[in-house]
């Protein structure tokens, strides 16, 4: 495993982050989830990402239980705040001071730790003054409940405004957690240039485009049984944008490129996002330990520019690039 600095800080994280969205506490049994965490640790992964909203707080509980006997100083534990939790009451959502301060305490209890290394605004809250949100984060840092603060799926302008307020309040935004893959490149035009200017790194989710870039889906054929495309708990909704014959045909054409690079399709997709210097880590989920053992080989891979050009020639025109696709819910009721 190799490690990269997160933003303009002295804080290092593993190039592969283990994330438990859409799995732990909902789609896989707790014992299997624990096996996945053990496999991640055995593979050299030290960075773990979750959120209070995942499985309505159960994902944090599962992760905390799996990591409780590990040396805390050797881990980087991330979580997030914004989404509805608990009974989803009128204050159980958003980035108000009340929700943030109550949420961080709940997350720490479930994760069985005194602090998180990175606390992230899961989305931008249009209904709470940004000053209120950033002041709450500043207080959490001063209280020692979070060492660093990040955001997720914020636009370039939102990142600029948040960064300026954080600086006034005596702390720094060091990261953004956006979706990013060969097929989803909406951060390249605006978010990445702003982040490079301000000193933020990207911790990217869905580098395999919800599994489409693994090559297991074929045009004109039904999705494999048990795959995300057949998951009625939310996975099928997330993946449907890429299930067209045009996209699936293009992805199949990447197979000889992966073979040329000596990688599996999944490894190629993860290695691709890590070629971007502004990406500090790629989040990898798993429902089986062997998935981690295979895909972690993408860490440290340097793809030849010729390989990168070949990838672009095949799927570059299929990728979504519109910066406007970086967006947060317009209302807390959304």
Q: Which residues are catalytic?
A: 54
The pair phi, psi for residue 10, each rounded to 5°, is -95, 15
C-beta separation of 254 from 198 below 8 A = no
Measured CA to CA, the distance from residue 205 to residue 56 in angstroms comes to: 19
Q: How many CB atoms lie under 10 A from the CB of residue 74?
A: 8
C-beta separation of 295 from 284 below 8 A = yes
> Residue 102 contacts by C-beta under 8 Å, 6 or more apart in sequence?
none
Calculate the alpha carbon distances from 79 to 54, 61, 100, 323 in Å: 10, 12, 12, 25
C-beta separation of 70 from 41 below 8 A = yes
The pair phi, psi for residue 116, each rounded to 5°, is -110, 150
Tokens coding 85: 């939790």
């Amino acid at each position: 495993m190799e490690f990269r600095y997160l933003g303009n800080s002295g804080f290092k994280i593993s190039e592969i982050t283990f994330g438990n969205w859409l799995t732990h506490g909902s789609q896989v049994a707790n014992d299997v989830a624990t096996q996945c965490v053990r496999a991640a640790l055995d593979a050299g992964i030290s960075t773990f990402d979750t959120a209070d909203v995942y499985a309505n707080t159960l994902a944090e509980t599962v992760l905390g239980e799996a990591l409780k006997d590990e040396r805390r100083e050797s881990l980087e534990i991330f979580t997030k705040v914004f989404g509805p939790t608990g009974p989803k009451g009128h204050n159980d959502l958003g980035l108000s001071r009340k929700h943030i301060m109550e949420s961080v305490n709940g997350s720490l209890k479930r994760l069985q730790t005194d602090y998180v290394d990175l606390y992230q605004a899961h989305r931008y809250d249009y209904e709470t003054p940004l000053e209120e949100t950033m002041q709450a984060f500043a207080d959490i840092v001063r209280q020692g409940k979070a060492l660093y603060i990040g955001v997720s799926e914020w636009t370039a302008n939102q990142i600029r405004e948040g960064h300026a307020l954080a600086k006034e309040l005596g702390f720094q935004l060091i990261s953004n957690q956006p979706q990013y893959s060969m097929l989803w490149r909406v951060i390249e035009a605006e978010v990445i240039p702003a982040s490079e200017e301000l000193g933020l790194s990207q911790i990217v989710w869905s580098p395999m485009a919800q599994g489409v870039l693994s090559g297991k889906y074929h045009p004109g054929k039904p999705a494999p049984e048990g795959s995300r495309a057949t998951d009625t708990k939310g996975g099928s909704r997330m993946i449907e944008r890429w299930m067209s014959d045009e996209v699936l045909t293009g992805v199949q054409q990447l197979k000889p490129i992966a073979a040329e690079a000596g990688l599996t399709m999944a490894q190629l997709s993860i290695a691709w996002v890590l070629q971007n210097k502004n990406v500090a880590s790629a989040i990898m989920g798993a429902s089986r330990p062997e998935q981690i053992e295979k895909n972690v080989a993408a860490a440290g891979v340097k793809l030849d520019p010729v390989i990168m050009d070949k990838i672009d020639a095949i799927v570059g025109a299929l990728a979504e690039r519109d910066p406007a696709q970086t967006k947060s819910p317009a209302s807390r009721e959304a």
